[in-house]
Amino acid sequence: MSSITRVRLKPPYLLLIGAETDPTFAKTAQGIVQWCPDKVAGQLRFEGSQVDLGVSDMSLTEAVEAGCGSLVLGVAPVGGAVPESWWEVIEQAARAGLDIVSGLHLRLRDRPGLAEVAEAAGAQLVDVRVPPAKLPVGNGKPRTGRRILTVGPDCAIGKKYTALALDHALREAGEKSTYRATGQTGIMIAGEGIPIDSVVADFISGAAELLSPDNDPDHFDVIEGQGSIFHPGYSGVALGLLHGSQPDGFVVCHDPLRKTVSGWPHYSLPPLAEVIEAHIRMGRRTSPDIRCVGVSVNTSKLPADERAAYLDKLAEETGLPCVDPLIDGCNGIVEHLLDTLGRSHSAH
């Protein structure tokens, strides 16, 4: 597959958290710690930060002495702007020879003088959120292979984690499966993908088609969702990804305690049943037999003694397997989707 973004990051990483106070906007750093812990040396936090990744705090000097290879901008705030006070640290890191890795919409080379500093020190500037050139418009034609898309009523609600866990569970079950990254963090983890939210709107569905092309009939592409069709700001990318992915099934990511759109408190989230119904209705445009195959629930903030009862009640209401992928894994969803979509002869 030629029309995808490929990155090779130099470990170990120092994750720049800065003065971020909202864990929701530190999802890049959190995702790397969760899925690539062996590549993380520590976190760099400024005074006032209320985000703790559970790894060692390190100064830039300590990171250099420890042999860090990259400074990774670990936050993704609304709008993607880097505070001016952070640039001094970023430039110091480049001067010390650390590669600078950004998953933001900005381009590191657009920062005056940064490219020259990096080049003089032999450091690389790695912009992950750069889509491939010459993407096509989606054609909507059926493709071979099977596709599962993770969706949700909001951003930062578990779509990436669920896709990674589901891909792992499918492979553990003996199925052929590939995780398809569509966001900056997923691309850093997988080493390749397409940053869908950086694609010009006309080409989003075409990019999704390239990301999950024709494949073996029994092969699963597990596609990381982006945004939400219910989001007042990011609905466009989610709908384009839904139509271009043409998923046979989708998994809804759900946070039982989140009531409003993160960062948009004046917008309430829709009920789970509405989320499922809307994705089926809109998804049928390019995938007539689309269905929901499970619910991925973030139960981390529920009391431990209420978790199992909540999941059981939700499963009864929806008629679907409901799991917390980081606690339960995704075996329940895998069993259901294999029963629904059919099992491969090679695995069973």
Q: Which helix (H) or strand (E) holds 15?
A: strand 13-18
Q: Are residues 295 and 198 in the same domain?
A: yes
Residue 93 is part of a domain; what is its CATH number?
Answer: 3.40.50.720
Of the residues 65, 98, 127, which one is the last residue of a structural domain? 127
Amino acid at 250: F
Q: What is the CA radius of gyration of the chain?
A: 20
Does some domain include residue 291?
yes
Q: What is the DSSP letter of 265?
A: E
**pLDDT reported for residue 27:** 87
- Residue 167 CA: distances (Å) to CA of 28, 90, 290, 315, 344: 19, 34, 19, 21, 15
Examine the pLDDT at 249 and tell me if it is beyond 70: yes
Does some domain include residue 136?
no
313-321: list long-range contacts, CB under 8 Å, 24+ apart: 314/254, 314/272, 317/272, 318/272, 318/273, 318/276, 318/292, 320/292, 320/293, 320/294, 320/295, 321/293, 321/294, 321/295
40-45, strands of its sheet edge to edge: 40-45, 13-18, 70-73, 99-102, 125-127
Q: Which domain holds residue 75?
A: 5-127
Token pair, residue 215, equals 């494949």
Distance (Å, rounded) from C-alpha 271 to C-alpha 158?
17
The model's pLDDT over 91-109, given as tens digits with 9 standing for 90+, comes to 999 999 999 999 998 899 9
Does some domain include residue 116?
yes
**pLDDT reported for residue 44:** 96
**pLDDT reported for residue 261:** 95
Residue 262 is part of a domain; what is its CATH number?
Answer: 3.40.50.300
Does some domain include residue 335?
yes
Does some domain include residue 133?
no
Mean pLDDT for the chain overall? 93
Q: Are residues 79 and 183 in the same domain?
A: no
**pLDDT reported for residue 222:** 98
By DSSP bridging, strand 146-151 and strand 99-102 are unpaired
The three-point CA angle 28-204-161 to 5° equals 30
Examine the pLDDT at 346 and tell me if it is beyond 50: no
Q: Are residues 157 and 90 in the same domain?
A: no
Torsion angle, alpha carbons of 81, 31, 36, 195, to 10: -60
Q: Are residues 229 and 111 in the same domain?
A: no
Does some domain include residue 346?
no
Q: Are residues 227 and 86 in the same domain?
A: no
**pLDDT reported for residue 211:** 96
**pLDDT reported for residue 79:** 61
Does some domain include residue 180?
yes
The model's pLDDT over 252-278, given as tens digits with 9 standing for 90+, comes to 999 999 999 988 999 999 999 999 999
Q: How many residues does the chain have?
A: 348
Mean pLDDT on 173-195: 96
